[in-house]
Copies of this chain bind each other. A is one copy, B any other.
Amino acid sequence: MHTPHDEQAGKALEFFREVNLELANLKSIRNLLAWDQETVMPPAGGRFRAGQSATVAALSHQKLTDPRYGAILEQLEEADELDERERINVREARRDYDRATRVPESLVRELAETTSMAYDCWVEARNDSDLESFLPWLEKVIHLARKKAACLCETDNPYDAMLEEYEPGLTVAELDPLLGALRPGLSLLTEEILTSPYQPDESLLKGEFPQVEQMELGRAVVSAMGYQWEAGRLDLSPHPFCTGLTPHDVRITTRYSEGDLSVGLFGIIHEAGHGLYEQGLDAHRFGEPTCETISLGIHESQSRLWEIYVARGRPFWQYWYGRLRRAFPGSFSATPLEEFLRAINQVRPSLIRVDADEVTYGLHVIMRYEIEKSFFDGGLEAKDVEEVWNQKMKEYLNLTPPDAARGVLQDVHWSLGLLGYFPTYLLGTVYANQLYEQARREIPDLEGSIARGEMLELLGWLRDKVHRPGRTWNASQLVERITGRPPDPDAFLRHLQEKYGELYRLD
């Protein structure tokens, strides 16, 4: 028997689901517009693409911030009849609604317009290595980001509100000790590695690797990882990415260098890791937060787990090295597997974050985090960023950028207003380390399977533990739930020390 109270809650739930489904559809469409633009859109089509995307973004924003939706949320928060999943959906919807409604529309518009122009300026400034021309834009972006953070802030540090955008629940109070524990350890390990007399032969990955063979090998690896082609695509684009329209339509892109094997192969595995996460969401719940990815950090944990923990490891290549040799007979026939493994895990500090190896990558992220935080709690201004950047680059990586293009201008993020984004890259790796360790504990003979080319059991474990729950828990909760410990920087350091201790024969 339904009581009138039940009926009311039922109607509210129905409205709630309808709006969420529309929001999910609009998000799919925005993703399609972006994918299309990067892969297949005719060049001239760009002229009107921004307007198309803006129209969808505005409609999404209107729908999400509709006071009727807010009222329904309140009603559902009071209702007793919701089951656990519905409660989670309401909780997550409340988070999105609050974040969307707390920033005034005028500021949203100003941010969109400013970052659109700042991005165009950044593209030119980086090309010309002309920091001066970008500084006024950086200043504006920082100014607007501070205003936005002030609207959203619920803690004593406004930077928390920026972190929350990409890694819900994450705070400076949590990040400071985590990254603080990593910095000296990463620096020390880097130094030890560099002073080892036992350096890999970096020329091994250079050679002639025709694109068609690279594509075939990449597709074979990704298929073995369990990527569902009937629900996915692989295309070429200048900047590889993954976009999930729905769990049934997940598209990854890659690029190849015919002279350098590492670009395409590890890139495609990385994006497929992202793609498997999107394909692993529970399609029956499409339109619900429980069918959405948790955070950029968890997303990155999936790409890094496959790219680094699986595909740069010995078991993986015990199976795939033969295949690689057959694909490129001229390149590896005289190279023992161990030499190849050392080459694909070479550590060398670089000026450019995206070229960085597993060990030094974290230092790039940490210096960016420290700079960004200072925008919010240290009064750092645009004009002083380069000086701080170069100081930290010297201190952490012992490098000096020869120009701004290879220094403070290298990343797109700040021009787009994406402050708070960088830490997720390193967090993802910390999560990946912990998840992979746990998978090794729980899956009998995991690495033996991988060495036989079998990776579906690992995928099944990730599906079950990480993909299916959607936004049921936040990143930190999920990691703790699965591994029994919160995100653990020391475990990550131990992994690095062990792995690179062996590869570089450190004491």
Chain A residues in contact with chain B, CB under 8 A?
Answer: 21-22, 25-26, 28-29, 32-33, 36, 40-49, 51-52, 54-56, 59, 228-233, 245-246, 248-251, 283, 286
Contacts and interface: CB of A to CB of B under 8 A. Distances in A.
B36 A52 contact: no
Nearest to A232: B42
A55 B55 CA distance: 13
Contacts of A49: 249
B55 A25 contact: yes
A419 B42 CA distance: 34
Contact of A228 (B26, B32, B33, B44): B44
A248 B55 contact: no
Contacts of A46: 248
Given A25-B54, A40-B40, 17 more contacts: A25-B51, A25-B52, A28-B48, A28-B52, A29-B33, A32-B32, A32-B33, A32-B36, A42-B232, A42-B233, A42-B249, A44-B231, A45-B231, A45-B249, A47-B246, A47-B283, A48-B249
Contacts of A32: 32-33, 36, 52
Contacts of A228: 44
The 3 closest A-B pairs by CB, nearest first: A45-B249, A25-B55, A44-B231
A245 B45 contact: yes
11 contacts: A21-B51, A28-B52, A29-B55, A32-B32, A32-B33, A40-B233, A42-B229, A43-B231, A44-B248, A44-B249, A47-B248
A60 to B, nearest CB: 10
A42 B286 contact: no
A41 B251 CA distance: 9
A279 to B, nearest CB: 9
A225 B120 CA distance: 35
Contacts of A45: 231, 245-246, 248-249
